[in-house]
């Protein structure tokens, strides 16, 4: 019996019981489909995670001013220092913030008259910020406007609220010039800042002009400088920003820069792929057990056929080869169908989520091979059992 005869006999055995063969193939189809879907979706999701990492974390640099900075004729970092940082190559936006422990919990009221039974006020952080803060925190004004150079120059008693702070105080619009009261003094609310992606604690804060905060709240010294860079420029900006902010005293500044995006990409995708690969392999093992079980049942049902083949001169190798090729064929068909279904599902999920599908071509091409290998391994024991049957005992059965 040559190879062509072996394949024709195996194919005839598969097609002789189409329903059972289809149900057996279904186990491999589900296993391969699950494997392709999990790896494909995890790669796609990992790409989205890394994309967000690149867009947010990988471009964010923070410079902190040490409270133990050496005293001098002026502040270590001046509010105008952000202009020097803005001129650095790779910087897209920059802003300075002043905060202190004393202003981390200030009672803020939307009315200076407390009615009986009313909550006395909300405890919120009060900070000072430069006019470029919305861009630096990747936020935007939901209503009104942000602080400008005129507010700073005039020492205006104006304030901008974070969106959550405004909600707590019951302020949703600035059309009627609402006011908030800090330490008994009124500040006109000129805008509400929302959608903050960096420094999210600002969503519950009251933001004042630097000059006003210095006059009335003691917030005259910059404590943090927020810098957004172009992708790939964070390392260079992190080295240059301290020199631009405090020439000669850069050692007193603390720089927080992101890790290497390439390493982060590998770590995120490796963790996600590893998790879902385990799930896919478990499904594939279940499919292999199904093929082995059905092939073993097929051997038992075809004992008479095996005995007749042996009596007519078929060798043990030829009998084992027939059943082995049958199980491999079932695994191969399941791999082809499963790979096709898996690719379709990955594309559909990506389209629904508005993601860019990421699928390794080697996975789609290797899935049928994996299915055939599963079928081959699953059919080893049943085929060996069939080959060990003696013709007389098989025919007698």
Closest of 209, 205, 132, 128 to residue 166, by C-alpha: 205
Signed CA dihedral, 125, 126, 127, 132: sign only: positive
The per-residue DSSP string of 198-230 comes to: SSGGGGGEEEE-HHHHHHHH---S--EEEEEE-
Q: Look at residue 47 in the predicted model and tell me its pLDDT.
A: 64
Point out the least confidently predicted range of 5-14, 235-244, 337-346.
5-14
Indicate the helix (H) or strand (E) that contains 129: strand 122-129
What gap in Å lies between CA 291 and CA 94, rounded to an integer? Answer: 62
Indicate the helix (H) or strand (E) that contains 48: helix 18-55
The pLDDT of residue 326 is above 70: yes
Longest dimension (CA), the chain: 109
Q: Which residues contact 312 (CB under 8 A, 6 or more apart)?
A: none
pLDDT digits (tens, 9 = 90+) for 252-291: 888 988 766 555 556 556 666 666 667 667 767 776 777 7
With left for phi above 0 and alpha for psi between -120 and 50, is residue 13 left, alpha or beta? alpha
What gap in Å lies between CA 30 and CA 163, rounded to an integer? Answer: 48
Point out the least confidently predicted range of 26-40, 171-185, 258-272.
258-272
Indicate the helix (H) or strand (E) that contains 338: helix 316-353
Report pTM.
0.56
pLDDT digits (tens, 9 = 90+) for 72-94: 566 788 888 888 999 999 999 99
> In terms of DSSP bridges, do strands 122-129 and 106-109 run parallel, antiparallel, or are they unpaired?
antiparallel
Name the token pair of 349: 């999920």
Name the token pair of 81: 């220092």
């Amino acid at each position: 019996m040559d190879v062509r005869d072996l394949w024709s006999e195996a194919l005839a055995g598969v097609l002789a019981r189409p329903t059972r063969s289809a149900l057996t193939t279904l186990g491999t189809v589900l296993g391969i489909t699950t494997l392709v879907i999990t790896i494909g979706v995890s790669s796609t999701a990992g790409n989205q995670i890394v994309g967000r990492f690149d867009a947010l974390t990988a471009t964010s640099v923070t410079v902190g001013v040490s409270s133990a900075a050496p005293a001098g004729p002026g502040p270590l970092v001046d509010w105008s220092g952000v202009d020097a940082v803005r001129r650095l190559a790779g910087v897209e936006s920059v802003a300075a913030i002043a905060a202190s422990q004393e202003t981390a919990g200030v009672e803020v009221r939307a009315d200076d008259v407390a009615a009986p039974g009313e909550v006395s006020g909300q405890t919120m952080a009060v900070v000072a910020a430069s006019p470029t803060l919305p861009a630096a925190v990747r936020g935007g004004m939901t209503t009104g406007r942000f602080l400008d150079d005129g507010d700073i120059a005039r020492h205006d008693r104006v304030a901008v609220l974070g969106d959550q702070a405004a909600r707590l105080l019951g302020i949703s619009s600035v059309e009627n010039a609402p006011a908030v009261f800090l330490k008994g003094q009124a500040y006109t609310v000129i805008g509400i800042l929302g959608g903050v992606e960096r420094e999210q604690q600002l969503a519950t804060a009251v933001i004042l002009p630097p000059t006003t905060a210095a006059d009335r709240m003691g917030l005259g010294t910059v404590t943090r400088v927020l810098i957004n860079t172009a992708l790939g420029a964070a390392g260079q900006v992190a080295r240059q920003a301290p020199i631009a902010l405090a020439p000669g005293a850069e050692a007193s500044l603390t720089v927080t820069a992101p890790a290497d995006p390439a390493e982060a990409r590998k770590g995120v995708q490796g963790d996600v792929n590893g998790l879902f690969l385990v799930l896919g392999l478990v499904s594939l093992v279940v499919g292999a057990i199904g093929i082995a079980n059905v092939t073993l049942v097929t051997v038992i049902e075809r004992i008479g056929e095996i005995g007749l083949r042996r009596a007519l001169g078929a060798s043990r190798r030829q009998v084992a080869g027939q059943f082995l090729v049958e199980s491999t064929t079932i695994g191969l068909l399941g791999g082809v169908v499963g790979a096709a279904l898996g690719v379709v599902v990955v594309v559909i999920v990506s389209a629904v989520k508005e993601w860019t599908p990421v699928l390794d071509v080697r996975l789609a091409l290797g899935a049928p091979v994996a299915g055939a290998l599963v079928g081959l391994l699953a059919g080893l024991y049943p085929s060996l059992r069939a080959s060990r049957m003696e013709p007389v005992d098989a025919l007698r059965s």
